[in-house]
Chain A
Amino acid sequence: MNSLDQIHAIQTALAKQQIIFCYAGYITEDVLLSVGSAIKKKLALVQADKHATRTVFAIFIEEAQNVVRYSKAVLSGGDGDENDALRHGFIAVGKNDGKYFVCCGNPVRNDDVARLDQNLTHIQSLNAEELKALYKESLRKDPPEGSKGAGVGFIDIARRASGGFDFSFEDYDDTHAYFYIRAYA
């Protein structure tokens, strides 16, 4: 198979997952702004309703800013070699069974996997009232020292994702796992 075949295979695979928009590469504030406005335009084109568009946009911002914050927090304390790896991210917007989803992926340190897993499993187990209480409690508190974006952002995603969210950690390299979170608007 030549390389364009392989690229086409990626494209076809994305379409099979009903992904209507996809970005892979560095995630910076600039990228976040442009991708955010591209997502809004795309959703306007497919005539998504206003509320769905708002929700998808909000989830996208929280997920992508988590990646930016996480890489900043880790890199400010570590060496520069991880730079390229940690600022890399994957963003996809799609539609399954009539519901829009936003999926974001990024490499995280193996050391952070257990904490993230525990935090997200806990958030997933809460009902709307409990999420609201945790949200307000987190807003009252200062962000934890050296916060790696595992604070109020995930709670906000959980609250907006009326179709729930799932997450996973996939093998990446010796010291990192690839973390995915997918939230349904």
Chain B
Amino acid sequence: MESIKIDGTENSPEVSFDFEANIFALRGMSYIEDVTGFYGSLMGPLYAHLGALSEATVRFDIALSYFNSSSARVIFRLFEKLDEVAEAGNKVTIQWYHEDDEDQIEVGEEFGEDLEHAELVMVGKES
């Protein structure tokens, strides 16, 4: 599948989905009001691709300085999906960039505590 690259805006994240390398990233801000409109067309192909993988190595970078509660729902679901992908026999790493902010660390850890198969790596400013 062809890679997806979308530039970030003031309220929507930069999206980089490399389906060949299985390296995916969301960076920047995410507080669009119509999250379904933004993420709907992205998550469909992503989930279809991830669901078909076996014995692959997948990395997902999440480097969002701020996301609103509607985006939180999308990211929470993404964690669940990535955990399923890991359970299906793939090596899945989620890298959570938190900029050393206490709330961002907390939310990353909260989302991560339900993971049983995928690995969560917390990345601060210095690392």
Residues of A with Cβ closer than 8 Å to B? 29, 32-33, 37, 50-51, 54-55, 57-58, 61-62, 65, 68-69, 132, 136, 139-140, 143, 151-153, 155-156, 160
Please state if A62 and B66 are interface contacts (CB–CB under 8 Å): no
User: Which residues of chain A have C-beta atoms less than 8 A from B110's C-beta?
Assistant: 132, 136
Please state if B76 and A61 are interface contacts (CB–CB under 8 Å): no
| B68 in contact (CB, < 8 A) | yes
Candidates B33, B103, B114; contact of A54 at CB < 8 Å: B103
| B54 in contact (CB, < 8 A) | no
A156-B72 CB under 8 A given contacts A50-B101, A136-B110: yes
Please state if A57 and B66 are interface contacts (CB–CB under 8 Å): yes
> How close is B50's CB to chain A, nearest CB, in angstroms?
19
Q: Give the residue name and chain of the B residue nearest to A156 (CB).
A: B69
Q: Give the residue name and chain of the B residue nearest to A141 (CB).
A: B73
Residues of B with Cβ closer than 8 Å to A? 10-11, 31, 33, 66, 68-70, 72-73, 76-77, 101-103, 110, 114
> How close is B85's CB to chain A, nearest CB, in angstroms?
18
CA distance A11 to B108 in the complex (A): 42
- Identify 15 new A-B residue pairs, CB closer than 8 A, beyond the known A54-B66, A57-B66, A65-B70: A32-B33, A33-B10, A33-B11, A37-B10, A50-B101, A61-B31, A62-B68, A68-B33, A136-B76, A136-B110, A136-B114, A143-B73, A152-B70, A156-B68, A156-B69
Please state if B33 and A153 are interface contacts (CB–CB under 8 Å): no
Q: Give the residue name and chain of the A residue nearest to B36 (CB).
A: A143
Q: Give the residue name and chain of the B residue nearest to A58 (CB).
A: B66
18 intermolecular pairs with C-beta atoms under 8 Å apart: A29-B33, A51-B102, A54-B101, A55-B103, A58-B66, A58-B68, A61-B66, A62-B68, A65-B70, A136-B114, A139-B73, A152-B70, A152-B72, A152-B73, A155-B69, A156-B69, A156-B72, A160-B103
CA distance A175 to B77 in the complex (A): 39
> How close is B22's CB to chain A, nearest CB, in angstroms?
25
> How close is A9's CB to chain B, nearest CB, in angstroms?
35
CA distance A51 to B11 in the complex (A): 19
